[in-house]
Structure 1
């Protein structure tokens, strides 16, 4: 009896699906601003973009990549089932994802490798944010395509995919760097979402990855299938105000979590500074730190980091470069920004961070006037119990205490100062009169000079603490 590739792959999925062990399911928190685990524990999504992971790496290379990211503190990797580049070429094991580029005919041999990657990631504590396809397969606005999706086959393919990964630690990401420009595009994305919901029973979160400089809410301000918003502040300019993109999402009547799903990539050319089609400057670790802290303190539920050579796994011995990549991907694994994202995550998780709400109105700085790169970002806990201030350079800030929402008497506030790149404490000069002023005290050898100020209540003096002080 003849069986279609679609049915054979569906049967195979039933046998290959296994539980994901210690990784809990994810859901949207009751405050509609954060992601939480099935046990209600806040989940700070720290993602790394590895778009071509399934398509380009061997299993040995994949394990190297995943271990590096897990060791640095990431908990999510983003990858695409139907990749953008070299779509017509097989993966590292000679397998193509579809028969005749037909989404209703997925090839099981290709997806067995995807299974392995998802399981290996889970074994290292990493969720997979999985894009069913890159956007050029439904809107070839640019790139090579081909456009292969209709509303009908999009629903079929995504239902199959969701059944296959129903019991895996997955976050679904629709879109793929392309705009929704007409009713057909809108119908395709809705069909994909419906297929995913039907296939896994709605057990996984769904978001949308838009094109550069845009926001999922530009297309889907109140779509029932979209669980949290994602925007792409992108690679065009230094100091792109991604906090404004968060603000737009957090002001919508239908409140949902928000994050920057593609900020400036480390080691990516600054597109606005290209000359004669050639790069002149690249984003560095300060750029990616600044984008991360701006976004997190302005209300994001996490952050996604990227390295220009890693999303494409740049390797000139195997393939040509894409878009001016310059560092072999194995070397790019240890560019400084990646480890600094782990520092940020650990720092944030050490606070009662889900209470934080953006409030930078009480912080002032004369540094650089209105220069966008010197924007100071601050957040105060809803209950007024603490505040966090990020300062993107080695300069003094001033705080108007009467303007803060801190519910702590000035004499009871403990000031703590930290390096934003290392998380280690630093010294500072401070004055706490009518206006509070703070100036960091970096050492000469400190090359990274952006810093953090944490304001919180002093620990109460107890007999135990007094005795410990006497012992010292």
Structure 2
């Protein structure tokens, strides 16, 4: 029986100030200590290609669907220095990062402020990576102007709700590149006084932790699990970062995008094979269940804000404003609401509770356990059965439900009428199985109430 459909129409209130890292180094949090589940959308060309009316339409849609971070780039990837924005303005005078164009950044201001009014943080990339990558013909940065540019951005957006994301789809390989990135980070810190977190978006498949674990300015890790294959286990990245010291939060900042061609090129029977909502949902849940502090969604048509009068990148084929309603985006909002309703800040990976079930590949079972013993959350990506050690759940009366991540509906499986004294192993079989038939088992206290403390009416 369906117990509750997860609403997707609510728009969050204004962001509650700057974000920080939880004391245990595992989660992001608000200034008041409440956990922040990072749910990003990839909008790389937002500042560069959309006018204000279009940008407002995009942001309003993403707020309605439950996103709370929008990842966008000031110096954009697609002709970002040579082709002006919707109002005819280039970002830099003479392509000099030390001479930003006020008119261009006034448009960026509008978007950042509109996002804030809708309860959205901006995952702000100062530049795409090719502009700082040594040996690239697009190179315009060196340590001196990188610091000046970072200071300019830090001062300008000091009071705005955002997260700095350095990198822009490139890896730090040479000492010269590291000097540029370090200088840009230093400029941001000088400009905003340390008001905002900083992370790094690497080239995929890649991880900030592989190249910048020693960077003192890096507040949380970001991976790019990329777009190569359906059978790629995105949870492995979070598991790697979760085991590092010092502990830092981690998340997937660029997983396989909805509608992007699988492996960028593969064709089957003359048809382009594209990732669908099952692929992006599996990438998201696998990563968060492995210990990530949130997730970023992407759509191949939306990141580039494609429309028919523009040359498509990576075979984009649907206007961005139509792609807004693709099912994967709505399902990401359901995931955020699920975790916020299940005390995400208390959940830690605990795969030892899984005593039997698929241990690798697309069907790999993962589990999160509440640190106070109040809840166990288990993900079965293909609806395969699994066996649990139930003794980790420390409640007197228990409720067991199956959550459907496709539609946001919980199905009651069992409610105990008496104190639970069975702490032995138990096998669970999801309602359906196969590709796209992923299910989440929740074992929790039956006395937990659904009240104002439970977000989004779950």
Normalised by the size of structure 1, how large is the TM-score? 0.86
* 2:12 is the alignment partner of 1:25: no
Question: What is the match of residue 286 of structure 1?
Answer: 278
Separation in 1, partners of 2:264, 2:351: 28
Q: Give the 5 Å matches for 1:66-465.
A: 66-87=59-80, 88-139=82-133, 146-271=138-263, 274-275=266-267, 280-317=272-309, 319-363=310-354, 372-401=361-390, 405-408=392-395, 412-426=397-411, 435-441=425-431, 449-459=437-447
Q: For 2:399, what is the secondary structure of its paired residue?
A: strand
| Maintained 8 Å contact 2:200/2:221 | yes
State the secondary structure of the residue aligned to 2:111. helix
- Residues 283-310 of structure 1, C-alpha deviations (whole Å, 9 max, x = no match): 1111111111111121111111111100
Aligned-pair distance for 1:364?
A: 5.8
Distance across 1 between alignment mates of 2:135 and 2:392: 47
Q: Which moved more, 1:449-458 or 1:342-351?
A: 449-458
Q: Give TM-score, length-normalised by structure 2.
A: 0.88
Q: Which has the higher contact order (CA 8 A, sep 6+)?
A: 2
Looking at CA atoms only, which structure, 1 or 2, has the larger radius of gyration? 1
SS in structure 1 at match of 2:302:
helix
Equivalent residue, structure 2, for 1:469 = none
Q: Distance in 1 between matches of 2:114 and 2:62?
A: 13
Check conservation: 1:427, 1:442, Cα contact below 8 A.
no
Unpaired stretches in structure 2, ≥5 consecutive residues? 1-12, 416-421, 450-458
Aligned pair partner of 2:28 in 19, 29, 35:
35
**Distance in 2, Cα, partners of 1:174 & 1:74:** 21
- 1:8 corresponding residue in structure 2: none
Distance 1:460 1:311 in 2: 40
- In the alignment, the residues of structure 2 paired with residue 151 and residue 279 of structure 1 have an alpha-carbon distance, to the nearest angstrom, of 46
2:9 maps to: none
Aligned pairs, number: 430
Alignment correspondent of 1:49? 42
Contact 1:50 1:79 in 2 (8 A): yes
Residue matched to 1:14: none
Distance 1:70 1:352 in 2: 21
Rate the CA distance shift 1:393–1:273 in 2: closer, same or farther, 3 A.
farther
1:38-59 CA distances to partner (integer Å, 9 max, x unpaired)?
1211111111000000000011
Q: CA RMSD in A?
A: 2.6
How far did residue 347 of structure 1 move?
A: 0.7
- In structure 2, how many angstroms separate the alpha carbons of the residues matched to 1:50 and 1:334? 15
Greater Cα offset, 199-208 or 387-396? 387-396
1:219 CA drift (Å): 1.0
Separation of aligned partners in 1, 2:134 and 2:313: 17
Contact 1:266–1:284 (Cα < 8 Å) also in 2: yes
